[in-house]
Each structure stands twice: as C-alpha cells, then as structure tokens.
Structure 1
Amino acid sequence: MRLILHAGFHKTGTSSIQNFLYQNKPTLSAEFRVLMRPKIKALCDCARGFSVNRNPLDQGLFLSEAAQALSALDPADPRPVVISAEDLSGHTPGRHRLLSYAATPALMQMLVQVADECLPGAELTFLFTTRDPESWLRSSYAQSLRATRQRLGWAAYFATLSPHADFGPVLDEIQTAVAPHHVFTAALEDSQTHPLGPATALLDLMQPSDALRAALVPVSPQNRKLPDPVLDALLHLNRSDLPKDEMRRRKADLITQALG
C-alpha cells in the first residue's frame, strides 16, 4: 500500500491544496483514497495536544487514534491513500506558548511506528509544504490576529518567532525520524507558476494517470490577505477589555467588510 502524508506546515498553501482535493475528489476517487481533517479530526486533535504537552498521556492518545485511523484502511484496496492535514504537525507556532514545530519529528515517527504495525510493508511518503520565512511569519501573524486574542504587535511577534521560521532544521529532524521513508518539500513560492497551484507538488508524488490529471480542475486561492489597517484594528480589539463574544462579533464584522 502507498500512503502519502501531507502533514504540514500551516500557512503554506495547505487550505488551497485541501480545497483542490475536495473539489476534485469525485475525479480523484477513481485512483486514490483521500482523507482530510474532517475524517481524522480526533487524530489531528491529539497531535495538537501532544505538541503542547509532550507527555505520555498525550503520546498514548495520539498512538491510539493513529492506530484506529490506519487500521480502518482496507489493505485490499489497490488505490494509494492520500492524507492532507497540517494539524498532524501539531499546533501552529505562536499559539499555546509554542515557538516552533519541535514536536513534529516525534509525531511523524509515531505515525511510521503505527503504520508499520497496522499496515505491514506500506510505502510511506511525506510531503511538507514550506514558505519564505518572513512571508510565513506575516501570514501566521495575520491568522493569529483573526483566530485568537493575539496581543503582540508585529515587531514583537517577529522577534519572538523569526528564529524558528526557517523550516530547514526541523525538516532534517523529520527525515531522520521517519527514515528510511522519504520526506519531500515544496515551497509555496514555486507553485505560483503552475496552473494547479500548490497542489502540483502533491500530485507529482501521487502520480495519477495522464487521463485523470488532465481532468482535474484548478481552484481559487484560499485565505485572502487582509489589509494592514484591518490587522491593526484586529490587534486593537484583541487588546481591548471587550467580552470574548463581543470581540469575536466585531472581528467577524471587520473581516467580512474587508473581504466583501
């Protein structure tokens, strides 16, 4: 069995890739089994929990959910399995006091361990999408302003997370952790010239037939960028003493107005 895991990183075109997989799923299903976060939500939640606490309980929960998810795959089905869920890498750095993807190598190693037990002989391939460090930091910061009560200004956020925004070192650790399986990377910037966008790198690893690939349709980019004045307004709301529900309502109104 071939198992292709696109397990991260956040804010590197992952939403666009998953929207592409969702929109093209009827076509892809002829040759592939595609799983995304809704189908493995419990596993993703356990990965995020482990990334924060790194304790034996969270490790056991992740291993248990991984075994349940992989055991549900029919080994008699000849179609390769494609899993795309960036939360398998843990929480996004910048949240829950996390500064980096330091837990990701251990999470990937546990997935290999469970695959070896549940799917003997499976061929695992890992894909991690990446992004220029400053571009990633800006996107990550904007998302944290939208989704959390992030109170740091841009300068402080950049100073805190920039030492960890180069994914090269953690990717080296991941390759060591999952050896002899292979880890491939694809930069978001390199996908801009491809008609199918960020999904191109994943498709290259999937190796669909020429006929299937020709039938796939592109999708619009996800998570449009918010203007700087809107980010400033979100930061102001995050720093306010408004009750959580009221703050969320005002933030939602701001974002809706900005994006139309």
Structure 2
Amino acid sequence: MTKILVHSGFHKTGTTSVQKMLVHNRASLEHHLRILTKPDMIAACQAARAFSVRRHPADLTEFASEIAAVFEDVDPSDPRPLVLSSEDLSGHMPGRRGLKTYDAAPALMKAIADTALAVFKDAPDLTFFFSTRSADSWLRSCYAQHLRAIRMTLDFEDYRTQYAQSADLDAIVDDVRKAVAPNTVVSTPLEEAGSRPIGPLAAVMDALEMPGRTRRGLHVLPPANVSMPEELLSAMLEANRSNLSNAEVSKAKSEARRIWLTGDL
C-alpha cells in the first residue's frame, strides 16, 4: 500500500518554508520519503488555480488528469511515503482573481482522492495535511503578499473587512474532511509548529509519523517570506495607487524592497 501525504495549503502558513526545507534536505530525506513540490507538478497546480477561478467541470477534469499523470509516475512497489507539497493545489490565494475563500479546495482534494483510487491497484493510505494560522496574522500576511505581487489598492482595514471570511481556514479544513471521507485530514496551526526545532516541517513529519532519527541532522533554514515593515508596505500601497504604468509600479516596488533588504529603509 502506497502512503501519500498531500500538503496542499494554505498560502502564508509556512508552506514555503516547508518546501524549501524538503528540497534543501532532499539528500537526507530521500532515504525515507519521495518528495514532490510545485516544480514537479506545475501542470496540476495550474489546473487547480484555473478551477478555483472558473469552477468549470472541464477544469476539474483537467486537474484530475494532471494529478493522474503525477501518480502514474509513482512506483507502487517503493515503500517510501510520497509527499506532495504545494499550496497551489488548493487553488489561488483568496484576494486573487476575485476569490473570497478557499471554497474550491474540497472539490480539488476530492479529485485527488478519487484519482488516487483509480490509479493505484491497491487503495493508498492517503492523508491530507493543512497548515493554518490565526485569522488576523494570516490576513496581514496575505495583505502584504498582495501589495507586493499585484496592484492591491485597499488599505489593510478595508482589506480585513472585505476578506474576513477568507481567514476561516478551519472551516475549509472541515469541508475537505467531509469531501474526502474516509481519508484522513489533519491540520496544525503555524503558531504551534513554527516554534519547534525544525519549524513548520515538524508538523509534516508528525503527519507522516516519521521517527525522530529521520528528523535529526536536518539543516534548518531561516523562515521564508518574512514579514515586511509598515514603511515598506506603505510604499508599495502608494505605488499601487499611483498613475504609474504596471511596469513602473513593479519596478518601484522592487526598488523599495531592495532598499529594505539592504537596511536603508
């Protein structure tokens, strides 16, 4: 029986740190795990994001097809657990493309579960793992990401009001649990996992029931995508609200971030 862990969210809950740690420590972990991150399943992630926006059955079918292609490359005789880690498997982050929540995630996770049953001769031992985060902290982190990546023009208070529903990550986890039953669904808050010796990766290791000896000796990386100061966020908001072209806004935000990273802001 193939053991599979799907770590599919959520954005801004330590997922990038987990993936960087998995890739950075691949040489040590590959004796115990098979690891796939976003670069290993780009088409599946693209299909998941497309479905989250359009909700067209054809997009869900395309997603299932791409996940099938991922699973068909898996050797069922290999005893090592398989880890799929990409927050994009749950679709776009709320705030992008008009999305207010992760309500596409249950259908996407069910497609993964159904596809796994269809591809593997023996039903796999399938677990869905989600990292979560307290509402206000998560909204602030998402807002900063939007300021940086897109032309978000809302101030934080307006953003928090409009997207408050998106922060109920536990409700999405509950919906996933119903959608993929009887498969296992677990979640761990970033506030709990982030304080552990190997950071958010510890929660993934727990979900895989990896023994302590597998964790010892891992090289711990600093947190990825750390929070930005208010001065930098204000500069990015000002650029987004300006009359500059999109290219000029992007350049201005990159320059502001460069100045911050060099300590001159």
Aligned length: 260
Where does residue 48 of structure 2 map in the other structure? 47
Distance in 2 (CA, whole Å) between partners of 1:149 and 1:3 is: 38
Q: In the alignment, is residue 11 of structure 1 matched against residue 3 of structure 2?
A: no
1:209 offset after TM fit, Å? 4.1
Of residues 207, 212, 215, the one that matches 2:214 is 212
After superposition, give the CA deviation of every residue in 1:206-250 in whole Å (9 maximum; x if it has no partner): 233443221222111011211111111101111112112121111
Letter in 2 for 1:191: A
Secondary structure of 1:242's aligned partner? coil
Distance in 2 (CA, whole Å) between partners of 1:207 and 1:34 is: 15
Secondary structure of 1:34's aligned partner? strand
**Are the aligned partners of 1:226 and 1:259 in contact in 2 as well (CA < 8 Å)?**
no
Letter in 2 for 1:220: P
- Structure 1 stretches (4+) deviating beyond 6 angstroms? none
Gaps of 5+ in 1: none
Where does residue 59 of structure 2 map in the other structure? 58
**Are the aligned partners of 1:9 and 1:128 in contact in 2 as well (CA < 8 Å)?**
yes
**Are the aligned partners of 2:132 and 2:170 in contact in 1 as well (CA < 8 Å)?**
no
Superposition TM-score, scaled by structure 2 size? 0.95
Letter in 2 for 1:135: S
Letter in 2 for 1:115: A
After superposition, give the CA deviation of every residue in 1:93-142 in whole Å (9 maximum; x if it has no partner): 01100000010000000000100000131110111000000000000000
Superposition TM-score, scaled by structure 1 size? 0.97
Of residues 123, 136, 139, the one that matches 1:137 is 139
Q: In the alignment, is residue 93 of structure 1 matched against residue 91 of structure 2?
A: no
**Are the aligned partners of 2:16 and 2:224 in contact in 1 as well (CA < 8 Å)?**
yes
Of residues 142, 147, 150, the one that matches 2:149 is 147
Percent identical: 40
1:60 offset after TM fit, Å? 1.7
Secondary structure of 1:125's aligned partner? strand
Distance in 2 (CA, whole Å) between partners of 1:236 and 1:106 is: 38
State the Cα RMSD in Å.
1.1
Letter in 2 for 1:189: E
After superposition, give the CA deviation of every residue in 1:29-77 in whole Å (9 maximum; x if it has no partner): 0111000000001100100000000002211211111111111111111
Where does residue 240 of structure 1 map in the other structure? 242
Distance in 2 (CA, whole Å) between partners of 1:166 and 1:249 is: 34
**Are the aligned partners of 1:105 and 1:174 in contact in 2 as well (CA < 8 Å)?**
yes
Secondary structure of 2:128's aligned partner? strand
Distance in 1 (CA, whole Å) between partners of 2:73 and 2:190 is: 32
Secondary structure of 1:12's aligned partner? coil
